Amino acid sequence: ERLCSYNYQDFIHSVDELLAIRTNSADLKQNIITTNNLIQDSGRNLMVRAENLLDTKRIQANIDQSIDEISTCLFVVQKCDKVNDLIAEKRLYSALKLLDKLETQLLPNVVQYEWARYLFDKIPVLRQSILNQVTNEFNEWLSQIREYSERIGELAFSQTVYDLNQDHSIPFKNLIKSNSSSSSSTSSSSSSS
């Protein structure tokens, strides 16, 4: 009995310690569950923020790409406008060179757009229009030369006669005879052309 009495106190003390450990472990378990829930909530918030950050980066990349595309399109449109300005200023060679650059270098970069394909299809028509304009201006220039050359010839002849009249060493009658025969052959050749 003594032995039991002595061990009984230790037994009771051990049971009390076990009950305290059980209570502490229940509290510890509750603290772990609470901490786990807090970590889970923080993790979910972090995941949501990370997804938002990725979405924002994708949107920013799309915006940057759009800005680059718009800048390229704007550059091409400005060059098309420059072609129209050059044509209006009658700087047709420069317009043809820029038109060629548009066709070979600039428009292929934006051919995925409908307006670029439209411009690409209109380049041969515009080039032919420029060539027609150059041809017409050249023909007008030749016609004006033909008109003025006869008048210039008459003025040169008159000036030569005047100069020869000033120089008395050449007889005027001989000059008129030689010029009248050469002018009649010149007028017959120009009437045949």
pTM reported for the whole predicted model: 0.56
Which runs of consecutive H residues, i.e. helices, occur in 89-113?
92-101
Digit-coded pLDDT (tens) for 23-51? 888 889 999 999 999 999 989 999 999 99
Digit-coded pLDDT (tens) for 86-124? 989 988 889 999 999 998 888 888 888 898 889 889 999
Mean residue pLDDT of the chain comes to 82
Identify whether the C-beta of residue 95 lies closer than 8 Å to the C-beta of residue 83: yes
Cα gap 113→125, rounded to integer Å: 20
Which of 87, 81, 78, 187 lies closest to 127, judged by CA?
A: 87
What's the mean pLDDT in 135-139?
A: 90
